[in-house]
């Protein structure tokens, strides 16, 4: 069992033991709604709850969608498609975060005492995160896993990379990892992810965490979670997810893209408080009794005499039974004592010892 580690510590280990206290990323995405006072409230609450990192998304209307997408005005979220009070371009612009705002949020996070980073969607944004924001790591969104030139560009910066694997097949994931490794950067965290918001339980395939651990034994494995509630998040920790990314909001009913699928304050609190207990409870792969010798004696049974026996009588199966506490002859000694003679008078219910027989 190892304690909680930073992303840098996780990626420096030669071989990762995944059953550690997970590094928890409170994913804001656009849940700040373009309002930096709201963003600060999210940061304060995430820190208070015990999250390790807050994460934004560094897209703008010029780096996320093409002009065709804006002309089509097609919203991904079903409950936004029939809206007529704003266009897709307007809402993307309104919910984006500028470089100056992100610098302000990084400074505020530093003061609060929590890691702060963002997901880039262009080379310019990568440069900003590395050169000006000094992000502790770069998070790559699922949509960019097969954007190999972009991955190569990010990897050359030398920062640890957290790679979400939603939308991807194993061969694409393998190529993405090899692309990053080709630059000499092997500071990689792989996140199991289903990019549907929210996914159906049947589509989650949490066993993929074990698949990643088997295929990439030298890399930390985590879970980017878009499920509702906390059950699946906690299950992933039991499977060994050492990084948890979970969308976070102060109000699920707030106007915005991801509030409905995000963790509430109570839900994030539950995850963060439960995570150390789960990781601690997973313990070792070695099977070894943890109870004290005294506890073992109290719970186990001894061979007892079921009726009075006189000195010189021979022990038969009819003479014995098994009762608590232990400390006398163990039940496994049954065949050894059958047919032997008692060397003293014994009362009923006597716990048999080796000194009683010859």
Q: Give me the residue spans of the domains in the chain.
A: 7-60+96-282, 293-356
Question: Confidence class of residue 77 from pLDDT cuts 50, 70 and 90?
Answer: low
Which residues have a Cβ under 8 Å from the Cβ of 35 and sit 6 or more positions away? none
Helical H segments across 4-144, by residue range = 7-12, 36-49, 67-72, 88-95, 99-112, 123-131
Residue 257: per-residue pLDDT: 82
What value does the mean pLDDT take over residues 57-70? 87
Q: Are 265 and 250 in contact (CB under 8 A)?
A: yes
Mean pLDDT, the chain, integer = 92
User: Which stretch of 2-16, 158-172, 314-328 has the lowest confidence by average pLDDT?
Assistant: 2-16
Percent share of the chain, pLDDT over 70:
95
Bond prior to 325 in cis (omega within 30° of 0): yes
Residue 21: per-residue pLDDT: 87
Strand 221-225 with 138-140, pairing: unpaired
User: Which stretch of 68-82, 192-206, 249-263, 295-309 has the lowest confidence by average pLDDT?
Assistant: 68-82
User: Which stretch of 288-292, 312-316, 347-351 has the lowest confidence by average pLDDT?
Assistant: 288-292
- Whether residue 4 is predicted with pLDDT greater than 80 in this model: the reply is no
Residue 17: per-residue pLDDT: 52
The helix/strand/coil state of 307 is coil
Q: Say whether domain 293-356 belongs to CATH 3.90.1210.10.
A: yes
Whole-model pTM: value is 0.86
Six-digit token string for 228? 């509702």
- Whether residue 10 is predicted with pLDDT greater than 90 in this model: the reply is no
Question: Confidence class of residue 140 from pLDDT cuts 50, 70 and 90?
Answer: very high
Residue 1: per-residue pLDDT: 44
What value does the mean pLDDT take over residues 129-148? 97
In terms of CATH architecture, what is 7-60+96-282?
A: Alpha-Beta Barrel (3.20)
Task: Quote the CA–CA distance of 185 and 159 in Å, as a whole number.
Answer: 8
Six-digit token string for 150? 């972009």
- Whether residue 67 is predicted with pLDDT greater than 60 in this model: the reply is yes
What value does the mean pLDDT take over residues 341-358? 96
Higher pLDDT, 288 or 242: 242
What value does the mean pLDDT take over residues 149-164? 98
Q: Residue 102's CB: how many other CB atoms inside 10 A?
A: 24
């Amino acid at each position: 069992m190892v304690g909680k580690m930073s992303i840098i510590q996780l990626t420096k280990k030669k071989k990762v033991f995944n059953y550690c206290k997970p590094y928890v990323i409170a994913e804001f995405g656009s849940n700040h709604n373009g309002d930096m006072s709201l963003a600060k409230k999210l940061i304060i609450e995430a820190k208070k709850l015990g999250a390790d990192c807050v994460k934004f998304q560094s897209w703008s209307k010029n780096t996320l969608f093409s002009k065709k997408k804006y002309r089509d005005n097609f919203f991904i979220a079903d409950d936004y498609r029939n809206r007529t009070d704003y266009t897709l371009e307007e809402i993307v612009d309104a919910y984006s975060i500028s470089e100056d705002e992100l610098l302000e949020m990084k400074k505020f996070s530093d003061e609060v005492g929590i890691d702060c980073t963002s997901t880039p969607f262009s080379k310019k944004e990568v440069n900003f995160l590395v050169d000006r924001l000094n992000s502790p790591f770069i998070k790559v969104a699922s949509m960019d896993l097969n954007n190999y030139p972009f991955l190569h560009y990010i990897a050359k910066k030398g920062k640890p990379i957290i790679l979400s694997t939603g939308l991807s097949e194993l061969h694409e994931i393998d190529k993405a990892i090899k692309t990053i490794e080709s630059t000499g950067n092997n500071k990689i965290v792989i996140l199991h992810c289903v990019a549907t918001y929210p996914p159906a339980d049947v589509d989650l395939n949490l066993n993929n965490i074990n698949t990643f651990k088997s295929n990439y034994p030298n890399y930390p494995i985590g879970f980017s979670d878009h499920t509702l509630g906390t059950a699946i998040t906690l299950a992933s920790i039991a499977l060994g997810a050492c990084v948890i990314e979970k969308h976070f909001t102060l109000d699920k009913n707030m106007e915005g893209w991801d509030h409905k699928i995000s963790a509430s304050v109570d839900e994030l609190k539950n995850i963060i408080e439960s995570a150390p207990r789960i990781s601690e409870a997973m313990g070792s792969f070695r099977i070894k009794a943890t109870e004290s010798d005294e506890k073992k004696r109290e719970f186990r049974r001894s061979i007892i005499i079921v009726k009075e026996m006189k000195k010189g009588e021979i022990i038969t199966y009819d003479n014995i039974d098994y009762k608590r506490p232990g400390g006398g002859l163990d039940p496994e000694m049954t065949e050894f004592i059958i047919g032997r003679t008692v060397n003293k008078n014994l009362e009923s219910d006597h716990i048999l010892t080796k000194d009683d027989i010859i």
